[in-house]
């Protein structure tokens, strides 16, 4: 175990002005707080926060971060409190430790929900102080290094979480070295056999090519010296997880990989990087499609480097990364490469906002917090955002938009602005019209065409979008549109009830009754009525406590007032004047409101129809002659007049049911089916029952265009000699 003065010396090696007393007090406090606690390995628990602090000294972090690492588990796992930490070490360190403390006593229904809530809290804490992330990543790295002592079931879960969230999060913050180690440790746990095979092949290849690597390094260095450049050149083999994922992604074997070894070329300044590139490209043939300039167009995590691949010495493919010393530091350490201990009046997080583009992604991700309906949805969005392979596209005005690989125009539109995404109706890619689902490539110029007539995107876009921002915005817009439609429906239901009962309705009066309805706004009440969660009579009773609900009888000897929502028919008399239907467009099942047809018999255009609101299910459409409407005779507020809104240029089929009694002889069923097929009907379902030795009853669920189409089929069936009777069924 690292001793007290060892830790102080590690910090002093890069920060001569370290507060030795602060470090010593934190060391002693944490050791006493954890006391006799032990880890799964049997080691004293205090060895864990001590090793986390040691990892952070390798990143040359400030005193407050090192102290927070020593104390990061005290609030969660000991008797220590935030108030005590603040008193002994100050509110800055207290806030860091609090940000690292997991949610306690969190009763959520799933592990995913708990994981999401902890990630949500972590990201919010990072937004306040980025050092929280550095401690958290170091904490996870040490836990992964000692994962073999954890029970096997938990081991796999921790490795999956690391691979899904923490390794990509390190990558998003530019901490490439830590990301690669986290990935390899997870890979070794999740697929030890594959890890072992890759390592064995890598070691054998390294032994075989040891002289070749040295030769390439020396030839490159000599070539740069000949042109008056001082360069530091060194070879580096790829990590096992990176190799394995490339083999899986491209479906190739280990022997087919040509870039297992890469070479770093570290130059003294920016100009030298491009001079070195020119020397390399004029000396050896370039491999087409393998050049990327991340200096002129940095990645969102601040990564800057020139990538190129040439057929170099010995006819070997040589992958080169050309960068300056500062770029190399940021490429390996990311945000940790910024020296927190330097004199600066600003806070570390404020300095990072000035110096690091990684914060732009963090702010964007936190923006999704307010758009996520539940923890699992937030976790989904965050995982989508963490994968950082990117394409770079441009708006017509030249603004750079960075997107994940495989992103399409829908993702681009939402990356520009949520309103642009919601109103997008078309696009041009490099001046040519294209589909909104078109996958984008590096360098594409994308112009999104919008229309004021479209205020909400089609819900199907959610399955097409790749980015979390786009999916969240589409989901929110869809929820808002449906809620608005429910609110409009609910308002009409409430207003009709008040008209029929001669009560005065006003939004201001309803506002005073909101507490009795447990809703925050008038629109919330109306949407709840539209969804069937609240009855219109409940609204009346909340506004007028003396209100008594009248009983309305639609079927039976005694006829009282029928609500104006019911369509007039011989079976539904109305004593009040008809006020006109509340028109809900019915065009198949594609309405914005959840609409379905009567389960036993359906309805087709040409039928006079009525809608019944069902709590939690939307609206069910019945033909006006359906006997099933008797079940709703005592609930007038659930009745809606509806109309058909069928686009004759795009015919759709609707459900209907018929009952056919036919002669029981060979081929009779085939004749019935032939009649239906010849008249362009579609059989959705069929059932048979034997009524007598001579006759069979067929119940057939059909799909037809309208009442005229259904009548034609019925008439043709009746003309058949094998058919004794045909009737339409209305359930």
Backbone angles phi, psi at 448, to 5 degrees: -95, 125
| Sign (positive or negative) of CA dihedral 305, 308, 313, 317 | positive
Question: Where are the alpha helices (H) located in 550-695, listed in sequence order?
Answer: 668-678
Contact 478, 462 (CB under 8 A): yes
Helix (H) or strand (E) holding 644: strand 643-644
> Among 20, 77, 177, 376, which one carries the catalytic annotation?
77
- Running DSSP on this structure, what letter comes out for residue 335? G
Residue 77 annotated among the catalytic residues of the structure: yes
Neighbours of 292 (CB within 10 A): 16
Cα–Cα distance measured from residue 567 to residue 544, given in angstroms and rounded to the nearest whole number: 29
> Among 58, 76, 376, 377, which one carries the catalytic annotation?
76
Contact 717, 675 (CB under 8 A): yes
Helix (H) or strand (E) holding 530: helix 522-531
3-state DSSP of 157-225: HHHHHHHHHHHHHHHHCCCHHHHHHHHHHHHHHHCHHHHHHHHHHHHHHHHHCHHHHHHHHHHHHHHHH
Neighbours of 355 (CB within 10 A): 14
φ/ψ region of 35 (left if φ > 0, alpha if ψ in -120 to 50, else beta) reads: left
Cα–Cα distance measured from residue 292 to residue 305, given in angstroms and rounded to the nearest whole number: 8
Helix (H) or strand (E) holding 285: none
Contact 488, 480 (CB under 8 A): no
Dihedral angle, C-alpha 187, 193, 199, 203, nearest 10 °: 170
Cα–Cα distance measured from residue 218 to residue 312, given in angstroms and rounded to the nearest whole number: 12
Cα–Cα distance measured from residue 225 to residue 361, given in angstroms and rounded to the nearest whole number: 40
Nearest to 100 by CA among 70, 58, 133: 133
Helix then strand then coil, % of the chain, to nearest 5: 50, 15, 35
**C-alpha distances in angstroms, 23 versus 7, 28, 153, 429, 699?**
8, 9, 37, 57, 83
Cα–Cα distance measured from residue 454 to residue 247, given in angstroms and rounded to the nearest whole number: 44
SS3 229: coil
Contacts of 656 (CB under 8 A, 6+ apart): 601, 602, 603, 604, 701, 702, 703, 704, 710, 728
**C-alpha distances in angstroms, 505 versus 117, 490, 491, 502, 536?**
43, 14, 11, 9, 12
Cα–Cα distance measured from residue 227 to residue 69, given in angstroms and rounded to the nearest whole number: 48
Cα–Cα distance measured from residue 395 to residue 685, given in angstroms and rounded to the nearest whole number: 52
Residue 447 annotated among the catalytic residues of the structure: no
Helix (H) or strand (E) holding 731: none
Residues serving a catalytic function are 76-77
């Amino acid at each position: 175990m690292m001793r007290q003065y060892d830790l102080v010396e590690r910090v002093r090696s890069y920060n001569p002005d370290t507060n030795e007393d602060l470090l010593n007090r934190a060391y002693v406090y944490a050791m006493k707080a954890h006391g006799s606690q032990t880890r799964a390995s049997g080691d004293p628990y205090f060895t864990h926060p001590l090793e986390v602090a040691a990892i952070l000294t390798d990143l040359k972090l400030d005193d407050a971060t090192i102290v927070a690492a020593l104390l990061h588990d005290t609030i969660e796992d000991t008797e220590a409190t935030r108030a005590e930490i603040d008193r002994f070490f100050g509110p800055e360190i207290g806030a860091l430790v609090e940000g690292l403390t997991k949610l306690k006593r969190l009763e959520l229904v799933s592990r995913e929900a708990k994981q999401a809530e902890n990630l949500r809290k972590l990201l919010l804490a990072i937004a306040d102080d980025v050092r929280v992330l550095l401690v958290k990543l170091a904490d996870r790295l040490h836990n992964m290094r000692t994962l073999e002592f954890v029970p096997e079931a938990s081991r796999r879960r921790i490795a999956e979480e690391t691979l899904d969230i923490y390794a990509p999060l390190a990558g998003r913050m530019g901490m490439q070295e830590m990301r690669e180690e986290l990935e390899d440790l997870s890979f070794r746990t999740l697929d030890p056999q594959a890890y072992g095979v890759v390592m064995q092949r890598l070691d054998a290849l390294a032994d075989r090519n040891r002289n070749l690597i040295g030769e390439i390094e020396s030839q490159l260095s000599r070539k740069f010296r000949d042109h008056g450049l001082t360069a530091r050149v060194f070879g580096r083999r790829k990590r096992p997880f990176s190799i394995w994922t490339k083999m899986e992604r491209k479906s190739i074997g280990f022997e087919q990989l040509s870039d297992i070894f890469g070479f770093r070329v570290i130059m003294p300044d920016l100009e030298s990087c491009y001079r070195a590139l020119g020397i390399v490209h004029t000396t050896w043939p370039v491999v087409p499609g393998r050049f990327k300039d991340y200096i002129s167009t940095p990645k969102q995590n601040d990564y800057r480097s020139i990538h190129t691949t040439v057929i170099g010495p010995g006819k070997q493919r040589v992958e080169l990364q050309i960068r300056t010393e500062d770029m190399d530091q940021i490429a390996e350490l990311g945000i940790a490469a910024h020296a927190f201990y330097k004199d600066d009046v600003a806070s570390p997080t404020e300095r990072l906002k000035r110096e690091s583009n990684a914060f732009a992604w963090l702010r964007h991700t936190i923006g999704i917090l307010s758009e996520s309906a539940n923890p699992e949805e937030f976790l989904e969005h965050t995982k989508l955002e963490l994968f950082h392979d990117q394409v770079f596209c441009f708006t017509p005005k030249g603004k750079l938009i960075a997107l994940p690989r495989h992103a399409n125009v829908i993702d681009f539109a939402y990356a520009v602005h949520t309103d642009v995404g919601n109103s997008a109706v078309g696009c041009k890619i490099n001046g040519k019209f294209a589909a909104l689902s078109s996958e984008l490539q590096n360098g594409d110029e994308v112009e999104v065409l919008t229309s004021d007539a479209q205020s909400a995107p089609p819900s199907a876009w959610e399955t097409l979008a790749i980015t979390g921002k786009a999916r969240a915005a589409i989901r929110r817009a869809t929820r808002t549109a449906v809620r608005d439609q429910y609110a409009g429906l609910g308002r009409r239901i409430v207003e009709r009830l008040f008209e029929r009962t001669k009560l005065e309705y006003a939004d201001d009066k309803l506002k005073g009754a909101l507490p009795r309805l447990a809703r925050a706004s008038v629109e919330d009440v109306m949407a709840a009525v539209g969804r069937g969660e609240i009855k219109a009579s409940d609204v009346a009773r909340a506004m007028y406590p003396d209100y008594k609900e009248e009983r309305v009888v639609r079927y039976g000897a005694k006829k009282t007032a029928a609500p104006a929502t019911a369509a007039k028919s011989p079976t539904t008399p109305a004593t009040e004047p008809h006020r006109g239907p509340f028109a809900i467009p019915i065009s198949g099942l594609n309405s914005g409101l959840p609409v379905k047809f009567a389960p036993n018999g359906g309805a087709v255009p040409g039928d006079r129809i009525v809608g019944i609101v069902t709590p939690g299910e939307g609206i069910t459409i019945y033909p006006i002659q359906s006997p099933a409407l008797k079940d709703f005779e005592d609930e007038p507020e659930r009745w809606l007049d509806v109309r058909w809104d069928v686009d004759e240029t795009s015919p759709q089929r609707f459900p209907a049911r018929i009952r056919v009694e036919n002669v029981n002889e060979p081929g009779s069923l085939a004749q019935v089916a032939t009649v239906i097929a010849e008249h362009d009907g579609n059989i959705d379902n069929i059932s048979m029952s034997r009524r007598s030795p001579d006759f069979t009853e067929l119940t057939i669920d059909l799909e037809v265009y309208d009442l005229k189409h259904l009548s034609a089929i019925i008439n043709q069936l009746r003309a058949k000699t094998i058919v004794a009777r045909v009737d339409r069924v209305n359930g």
